[in-house]
Structure 1
C-alpha cells in the first residue's frame, strides 16, 4: 500500500535545494541547515545520518523533498530510493506559489531550502515512484529525438534565407547528419519498445486506434507512462489539456488550458492533426465542433484531449480499439 506525505508517521523532513554542484539541506523538526556537494556519496551519507537521528529521537520515517531541476536532483532521488525512503519531487512553480502564500518574496538558496522543507508538510503530496530502466531510457531517447527534429526544422528555416552557396552547403550537410541521427534514434526507440513486454503491450493497444502511429505511441509511452492506470480527467490534466474554470459570481469566464507536460502536449498536437484526417470518429467529432462555430484552435485542443482520453481508456481496458 502506497503512503502519502500526510501520513502521521512522517514527522521528519529532509529538504534539498538543488544546484549543479551543491545541495542546501534543511531538516525539520530540527530546523537546521547545511550545504553539501551534489554527489551520490555525500547525499547517501547525509540521509543515513538523518536516519540515525530519526531512530534515536523516535520521529519515525523520513520524507525527502526536492524540486525538479532538469536532472540535477537525480542523486537525491536515487539515493533516497536506494535507502527505501519516501520521496516527493516538487514542481518549482508550486513551491514558489507556496512561498508567495506565506509572504516570502525574497529568494536565496537558504530561504528556498527552508520553504521546501515546510512545503513537505503539505497534506496530500504524491510520493515519487522511480521509473524502470527501460522507461527512463525511452524518455531520454524520445527527448533526444524531439531535439533532433526541432534542429531539423530550424535548419530548414535557415535554408530559406541563406543566399551564399557556402552557407547552403553547410546547412545541407548538417541536415543530412541530423536526418541520419534522427533515423538512428527512432530505430533504437522502436527496438526498445519491442523488447520490453509492457511497453510493447501498451504500444499495440494504442496503435489499434486508426490514425495513431509509432511516433505518437512512443511519445505517449515516454511522457505519460501512467497511461491506462489513471482517470480520463487526470490524463487530460497531465497533458495540460483540461479546461480550467474561470467563474466568479454571475460571471462565467472562458475556460483555458494550462500547465501539464509540455513534451506530451507537443506530441499530441501533431497526433491530433493526423487522427483528424485518418480517423472517421475523431473527424466527425471535430466537424461537429466546427459546425457549432467553435474556433479552429479550440477544435484542435478538443481533439487532442479526446485522443488522450480514448487512448487511456483503450490501455486501461486492455482491448484494442473497434474503430
Structure 2
C-alpha cells in the first residue's frame, strides 16, 4: 500500500507520496485544485508505477475545497480518507514538527495516513449533495434577511430618506420571495427521492424535531458516515469537555462547539421545545436540574439526547416511540 498526503488549498494541491513505509522516502507534486490538476496528478501517479487500488489518499477537511479532489481520486479507484485537521496537528506536535509549509504539511498528512489508517471516505449520493447545497443557500438567504430586518428596525429610530425605507422594504420582499421559492424546491427535491423522504419522516417522528431541524440533521447524517450516536454528537460539538488537573484546576465542563454552529442553533431551539413536549427529553432535563446542574448544562445534554434519538431512528429504521421505556 502506498500513502499519499494532500494539503488542500483553494487554488492548489501539495502532494507527498510515501515510497517506503520504513524509511519514509517520498516524492512531491504540486497541481492546481481543478479537473485539469486532478488529471495531472493521476497521470503522475501512474508514472510512479502505482496502481490506484493500492493507494491510500489522506487529506484534511477544508470546507468545500477538498470535495472535488476527493471525488476524483475516489472515482479513479483510490482509497480516500478525509480527516479532522486537529488530529493531524496533534500528530505533528507529537513528532515535534515545528516547520509549517505546505510541503511539510502534505508529508505530515501522508504520515498520518500511514500511522493511523483512517477510515475510507464514502461520497454522499448526488441527491444528498444537492440537498446540502439547497440548505446552505437557504441558510445564507435567511441570514441576509435577518440583517436587512435589523437595518429596517434601526432606521425607524433615526431620520432616514424615504428612498432608504423603500430600498430596505424591496430587499426584504425579494429575500422573502427567494426563501419561499427555495423552500418549495427543497420540498420537491425531497419528495422526488423516496430515501430522503423516508429518512425525513423518521426524524420528524421525534417530538420537537420539525421540518427545518430534520432537514439539517438529514443533510449532516447523509453526508458523513457515523458509526455511533456519540460520533455524531462529537461532530456537532455537543460533547462535554472537562478541564481538571490535581487540586488546583477544576473548570466547569463545557460543550466542545467544534461542529457547524448553525445546526447547533437549530438543535438548541429544538431542545427548548423538547423539554416541554418530549417525554424522554423532559425527564432528562428535570433529572439533571434536580441534581444541581445549571439550566444551560441540562439543555446541552438535551441537545445531545435529541441527536442520539435522530441517530437511533435512522439506524433502527423505526419511528420514534414516545412510550418506549427506560430511555436515558
Is the shorter-chain TM-score for this pair beyond 0.5, marking a shared fold? yes
Q: 1:318 to 1:74 in 2, by over 3 A?
A: closer
Q: Give yes or no for the alignment of 1:238 onto 2:235.
A: yes
Q: 1:167 aligns to what?
A: 164
Q: How many residues matched?
A: 311
SS of the residue corresponding to residue 161 of structure 1 reads helix
Determine the C-alpha separation between the residues in 2 that align with 1:124 and 1:267.
Answer: 34
Q: 1:219 to 1:159 in 2, by over 3 A?
A: same
Gaps of 5+ in 1: 1-9
Q: 1:114 to 1:120 in 2, by over 3 A?
A: same
Determine the C-alpha separation between the residues in 2 that align with 1:283 and 1:306.
Answer: 10
Q: 1:209 to 1:146 in 2, by over 3 A?
A: same
Q: Which moved more, 1:115-124 or 1:180-189?
A: 115-124
Q: 1:205 to 1:74 in 2, by over 3 A?
A: closer
Q: Which moved more, 1:173-182 or 1:126-135?
A: 173-182
**Contact between 2:122 and 2:225, CA under 8 Å: does it hold in 1?**
no
Q: 1:37 to 1:141 in 2, by over 3 A?
A: same
1:139 to 132, 142, 157: 132
Equivalence map 1:161-310=2 (5 Å): 161-162=154-155, 163=158, 164=160, 165-225=162-222, 230-249=227-246, 253-258=251-256, 259-310=258-309
SS of the residue corresponding to residue 219 of structure 1 reads helix
Return the offset for 1:91: 2.3
What is the aligned-residue RMSD (CA, Å)? 2.6
Gaps of 5+ in 2: 20-24, 323-328
Return the offset for 1:52: 4.7
CA deviations on 1:226-280 (whole Å, 9 max, x unpaired) are 7996323223222211223444456765322212343432331222223334334
Q: Which moved more, 1:278-287 or 1:66-75?
A: 278-287
Q: 1:267 to 1:224 in 2, by over 3 A?
A: farther
Q: 1:28 aligns to what?
A: 18
Q: Give yes or no for the alignment of 1:40 onto 2:35.
A: yes
**Contact between 1:23 and 1:36, CA under 8 Å: does it hold in 2?**
yes
Return the offset for 1:55: 4.2
Q: 1:172 to 1:94 in 2, by over 3 A?
A: farther
Equivalence map 1:59-74=2 (5 Å): 61-74=54-67
SS of the residue corresponding to residue 170 of structure 1 reads helix
Q: 1:94 aligns to what?
A: 87
Determine the C-alpha separation between the residues in 1 that align with 2:75 and 2:299.
Answer: 43
Determine the C-alpha separation between the residues in 1 that align with 2:170 and 2:239.
Answer: 42
SS of the residue corresponding to residue 57 of structure 2 reads strand
Q: 2:326 aligns to what?
A: none
SS of the residue corresponding to residue 244 of structure 1 reads strand
Determine the C-alpha separation between the residues in 2 that align with 1:290 and 1:160.
Answer: 38
**TM-score where L is the length of structure 2:** 0.85
SS of the residue corresponding to residue 114 of structure 2 reads coil
SS of the residue corresponding to residue 106 of structure 2 reads helix
